[in-house]
Structure 1
Amino acid sequence: MLIVRWVGAAVLAVLAVLASACSPESPAPSAPPTSTEVRPDGVVELPPRPREVRLDGVNPCSLLTEGQRARLGLDGRPVLSQAPVGLYPGGDVVACDIRGFEPRAVAAGISLVTTVGVERFTSGDLAAEIRRTAIHGFPAVVAVPTRLTNYCTVIVDVAVGQLVDVQFRDGGRTPPIPQGQLCRDAEAVAADVMMTLLDR
């Protein structure tokens, strides 16, 4: 299905970078980004979450209303999937992919991860620039890939061992959407997703 190919491509890119960083034939990984929130060892420190919001049994395609999707420019049909994702070991990841065609070609992927916590993105071992943010008071990170520029990811810490993964991707038209804009769009999607979760 569409979501498997889209999310899979992004995850494979991250995993390929991780694998190459461990290969003796590749150059040493680049230094972690300079930030007051990043320790010298590359670990990103996050504040505590205000409370736990469990994701068990939640359908990710229910987390954006029709009005929210319209405002975000996501006019395609939401596509639900459930499959293993290498970045998140321990079980299947339930995900929803929603494309947009007008006025821009974009795609948003919402993954609800119940087997791995936000530490997967704060440990300093990913080839991405990590910066802290907050989504409706919940600690989160923006993960900006350093070797790809056509998507951006926001990870929200919602519970012990659980996270919300929102990816926002360029749909491939010319000119390409700047990565900074993709990150802002990913944060906007994450904000609407968390609003829905908190209102449940």
Structure 2
Amino acid sequence: MEPSGIQLPPRPRDVRIDGVDPCSLLTEEQRADLGLDGRPVFDSALSELYPGDVPACAIRGFDPRAVLAGVSVVTTAGVELFTSRELALKLEPVVVHGFPGLVAVPTGFTEWCGVIVDVAPGQLLDIHFADGGRQPPIPQLQLCKDAQAVADAVVTTLLASR
């Protein structure tokens, strides 16, 4: 398969995320601003996409919208996983607080959107934002904007702790 051909700018610096709890990356205030009023739920599991265990945090929002945000701390693969091979995603370059990233829009689904942020060699943040299933469905373009807002908040918190 063909690589994406996307060239990302360099990172402003390396921010290692070994041992970072993904549930610590959104403050209570940030969660409220993003409409995520559910309790953060930590999970660490094998991933179909990334090698090894991937610590993740899922946070639901119920009011005013039914949504789900996911934050994964990936220390076993870098952003080149996305730029070096073809995936069922439409990739758009984005910059999050100076860090290169990708908006990952699934081509086969409209219920979610993701943002991948390159934070260090072989490490990335994987943020997903999904529709919670109410009617009418949230348009994918809005889910992508929301995923970018979550990514912005996550990187803000990460940089404040480093």
TM-score normalised by the shorter chain: which range applies? over 0.9
SS at match of 1:95: strand
Partner of 2:15: 53
1:44–1:124 Cα contact (<8 Å) kept: no
| Aligned-partner Cα distance in 2 for 1:190–1:128 | 18
| Aligned-partner Cα distance in 2 for 1:115–1:77 | 27
| Aligned-partner Cα distance in 2 for 1:124–1:167 | 20
Counterpart check, 1:114 vs 2:62 = no
Q: Which runs of 4+ in 1 moved over 6 A?
A: none
| Aligned-partner Cα distance in 2 for 1:116–1:86 | 12
Give per-residue Cα distances to partners, 1:36-82, cap 9 Å, x unaligned. Answer: xxxx8532110100000111111010111111000100000000011
SS at match of 2:148: helix
| Aligned-partner Cα distance in 1 for 2:27–2:38 | 13
The letter of the residue matching 2:79 is: V
Unmatched tracts of structure 2, length 5 or more: none
Larger relative CO (CA 8 A, sep 6+): 1 or 2?
Answer: 2
Cα offset, 1:86, TM superposition: 1.5
Identity among equivalent pairs (%): 64
1:152–1:183 Cα contact (<8 Å) kept: yes
TM (normalized to structure 1)?
0.79
Partner of 2:112: 151
Which of 48, 54, 58 lines up with 1:86 in the alignment? 48
Query: What is the number of residues matched between the two proteins?
Result: 161
Which of 133, 138, 145 lines up with 1:184 in the alignment? 145
Partner of 2:33: 71
The letter of the residue matching 1:100 is: G
The letter of the residue matching 2:29 is: G
Cα offset, 1:146, TM superposition: 0.7
Give per-residue Cα distances to partners, 1:105-164, cap 9 Å, x unaligned. Answer: 000000000000001111241011100000000000001001100000000000000000
| Aligned-partner Cα distance in 1 for 2:159–2:91 | 25
Q: Which entry has the higher C-alpha Rg, 1 or 2?
A: 1
SS at match of 1:48: coil
Q: Which is helix-richer, 1 or 2?
A: 1
Q: C-alpha root-mean-square deviation of aligned residues, in Å? A: 1.2
Counterpart check, 1:175 vs 2:144 = no
Q: Which range is displaced more, 115-124 or 152-161?
A: 115-124
